[in-house]
Structure 1
Amino acid sequence: MAEPADCFDDVLPEALRFRAPAPLVDIGANLTHESFTRDMDAVLQRARAANVGTLIVTGTDLEHAEQAIELARRHPGVYATAGVHPHDASRWDNNMARAMAALYTEPEVVAVGECGLDFNRNFSSPEAQERAFEAQLGLAAESGLPLFIHERDAGKRMHDILHAWRDDISQAVIHCFTADRETLYRYRDLDLHIGLTGWLCDERRGHHLRELVSDIPLDRLMVETDCPYLLPRNLPAKLKGRRHEPALLPWIVHEIAYWRDISEQALAAATTQTATAFFRLPVIKEPQNG
Structure 2
Amino acid sequence: MVDPTETSDDFLPEALRFRSPAPLVDIGANLTHESFARDLDAVIARARAANVTGLILTGTDREHAEQAVALARCHAGLYATAGVHPHDASRWDASLQQAMRELHRQPEVVAVGECGLDFNRNFSTPAEQERAFEAQLGLAVECGKPLFIHERDAGKRMRDTLHAGRDDLPGAVIHCFTADRETLYGYRDLDLHIGLTGWICDERRGHHLRELVGEVPRDRLMVETDCPYLLPRNLPAKLKGRRHEPSLLPWIVREIAHWQGVSEVELAQATSQTARAFFRLAETEDPNVAGTFQQEEH
TM-score, normalisation: structure 1: 0.96
Residue in 2 aligned with 1:166?
166
Match of 2:225 in 1: 225
Query: Cα gap change, 1:69/1:124 in structure 2, threshold over 3 Å: closer, same or farther?
Result: same
Question: Are 2:90 and 2:125, in contact at CA under 8 Å, matched by a contact in 1?
Answer: yes
Q: CA deviation at 1:272?
A: 0.1
Aligned to 1:89: 89
CA distance in 2, matches of 1:92, 1:40: 30
Q: Residue 284 of structure 2 contacts residue 290 of structure 2 at CA under 8 Å; is this kept in 1?
A: no
Q: How many residues align?
A: 282
Q: Tell me if structure 2 keeps the 8 A contact 1:27–1:57.
A: yes
| Residue identity opposite 1:9 in structure 2 | D
**Mapped pair 1:121 → 2:125:** no
Q: 1:287 to 1:66 in 2, by over 3 A?
A: closer
- Partner AA of 1:179 in structure 2: A
Consecutive unaligned residues in structure 1, runs of 5 or more: 1-6
TM-score where L is the length of structure 2? 0.93
Residues 29, 57 of structure 2: 8 Å contact kept:
yes
SS, match of residue 195 in structure 2:
strand
Q: Name the counterpart of 1:278.
A: 278
Q: Over the residues paired in the alignment, what is the CA RMSD in angstroms?
A: 1.2
Deviations 1:72-118 (A, max 9, x none): 00000000000000000000000000000001110000000000000
Q: Does 1:264 align with 2:261?
A: no
Give the whole-Å Cα distance in 2 for the aligned partners of 1:182 and 1:104. Answer: 32
Verify the 8 A CA contact 2:173 2:195 in the aligned structure 1: yes
Map Cα deviations across residues 215-262 of structure 1 (whole Å, 9 max, x no partner).
001100000000000000000001111100000000000000000000
Give the equivalent residue in structure 1 for 2:63. 63
Counterpart Cα distance in 1 of 2:151 and 2:104: 22
Shift of 1:167: 1.0
SS in 2 for 1:133: helix
> Does the Cα contact within 8 Å between 1:23 and 1:284 map onto a contact in 2?
no
CA shift at 1:287, angstroms?
5.1
Looking at structure 2, the residues matched to 8 and 186 of structure 1 have their Cα atoms a distance apart, in angstroms, of: 42
Which residue does the alignment assign to 1:4?
none
Cα pair 2:81 2:113 within 8 Å, conserved = yes
Matched-pair identity in %: 78
Cα offset, 1:8, TM superposition: 2.5
Given that 1:20 and 1:52 are in contact with CA atoms closer than 8 Å, whether structure 2 keeps it comes out as yes
Q: Which SS does the other structure have where 1:240 is aligned?
A: coil
Q: Following the alignment from structure 1 to structure 2, what is the Cα–Cα distance between the partners of residues 161 and 170?
A: 15
Distance in 2, matches of 1:162 and 1:8, equals 42
1:99 is aligned with what amino acid?
A
1:175 aligns with 2:175: yes
Q: Equivalent residues in 2 for 1:191-206 (5 A)? A: 191-206=191-206
C-alpha distance in 1, partners of 2:71/2:51?
Answer: 19
Partner of 1:148: 148
Equivalent residue, structure 2, for 1:3: none
* Unaligned segments of structure 2, at least 5 residues: 1-6, 292-298
Contact 1:83 1:112 (8 Å CA) reproduced: yes
